[in-house]
Amino acid sequence: MRDVAIIGASTTQFGRAQWSLLKLMAEAAHGAITNADLGGRKIDAVYVANMGSARNNRQAGIASALVDRMNLYPAAADTVENGPASGASAVKNGFLAVASGMCDLVLVAGGERMREVNNIEATEFVSFLSHRYAEYIYGITLPALAGMFARLWMNKYGVTSEHLAMVAIKNHSNAMLNPNAHIKMPITMEGILHSPDAEMNNPYIAEPLRFFDCCPVSDGAAAVLLAPAEMAGEFTKKPVIISGFGQATDTQAVHERPDPTVLTAVQIAARKAFDMAGLKPRDISLAELHDAFTILEIAQSEQVGFFPEGTGHIALEKGETQIAGKLPINTSGGLKAKGHPVGATGVSQIVELVFQLRGEAGKRQVKNPKHGFALNFGGFGNNVVATILTKGA
């Protein structure tokens, strides 16, 4: 296997687009391609991450459509649909294509245009990933699953609504420093939890999760360009190495897990990624975790091994996960505030790590990062991809 480098990275602004999904993805792809100096070299393959274009945007075969839009013929093209983990899955497939020697230059783009449909339809389309007969037909949605998970986690570890709000406040604050974030609005503990007006400002969505505990519904796209590490110097002065990947699955229906608070797929995916990279959680300089709901950032920060069991909220309280903390988490604003265009999310997490490892993250730059970790959480933890990136020499 060859080592693989990221030689180009780009993202669109997340939020609400008035243009097509294809145009969004083309913008991100163009950004990633022009971010590297390809000198006329052709792209061998394109992997596209997307979950709902056929349903929401009346566009199937999105990878072929992107190749056509970008004039990338005769590049091989595949669409990767793996729920909310589609993005990191697509990067993994691109990585394998380069690592195996089958391809040299591979473009990976992820995108979703969710706001073409109303928010009831958007919530329903995401809920299609739940178990059809054990969950979906009973009306389960992702916020509902997250609400039940949060209740269990809070009872088990003493996490409070204030801790959940701290995640939201931190990630909104980080998103204020990210020009591509969807929600660039600060929030305060008093305004969302403690004042007499907070009940109306921040109503329950799925108790104990409130409005500001949930990610927005976003449009957006992100892309990376991959090349063999040995050739990366030809295309960029700042290659970033993909040093670890790990992926694991778990039961589709959450209630079939012996203990629903144990995210086995998260633990296994992270362990595999650390083993492949030859690193430990303590070696990581920053992480992008899948905070579709605030509780998930706390839970994942423990289950990937950054903090001992039951102490993620304590680290949060101490400010360890802030940009200037010991282990900055979700410097981009996370799914919570940067936004969560489902197919784009996993790629976008990796793009943020690339920006940080290259020292190009602007006002949210972490000091001298060496290794970045991303966790893309599919289903409700039934298909998880962990990625570790390392700053190139």
Partner 1 sequence: MLDQLEAALRPPKLEMAPYPAKHILLANGETLVVRPASMDEADVLLEIIDPLKTLDRDFYDIVSARLYAELLGWKRHRVRNEYCLVGVINGELAGIVNGRMFDEHHGISYHTLALKRGLRIGAHLFASKMEHHIEYLGQDEVWIVAESPIGHRRWMIEYPLQQKFSIQHELGGAPSWVLTRETYFKARPRLVTGTRPVPEELLACSHPIRKPDLRTMLVQIGDTLEAKL
Binding residues for partner 1, rule: CB under 8 A, are 13, 15-19, 118, 183, 185-188, 190-192, 195-203, 212
- Report in angstroms how near the CB of residue 188 gets to partner 1 at its nearest: 4
**In this complex, which beta carbon is closest to partner 1, that of residue 63 or of residue 192?**
192
Pick the closest to residue 43 from 34, 56, 55, 51 (CA basis). 34
- Report in angstroms how near the CB of residue 376 gets to partner 1 at its nearest: 25
- Report in angstroms how near the CB of residue 238 gets to partner 1 at its nearest: 27
Which residue in this structure is represented by tokens 């195996």? Answer: 100
Strands in 219-228's sheet, in edge-to-edge order, are 76-80, 45-49, 106-113, 219-228, 4-11, 240-249, 383-391, 371-378, 286-288
Angle between helices 21-35 and 62-70 (to 10 degrees): 60
Residue 85: both structure tokens together? 């983990």
**In this complex, which beta carbon is closest to partner 1, that of residue 139 or of residue 186?**
186
**In this complex, which beta carbon is closest to partner 1, that of residue 93 or of residue 173?**
173
**In this complex, which beta carbon is closest to partner 1, that of residue 156 or of residue 194?**
194
- Report in angstroms how near the CB of residue 115 gets to partner 1 at its nearest: 8
Q: What is the dihedral of CA 150, 193, 178, 313, to 10 degrees?
A: -40
CA 110 vs CA 43, 47, 62, 282, 384: distances in Å = 17, 8, 10, 29, 16
**In this complex, which beta carbon is closest to partner 1, that of residue 199 or of residue 275?**
199
- Report in angstroms how near the CB of residue 244 gets to partner 1 at its nearest: 36
Residue 202: both structure tokens together? 């921040």
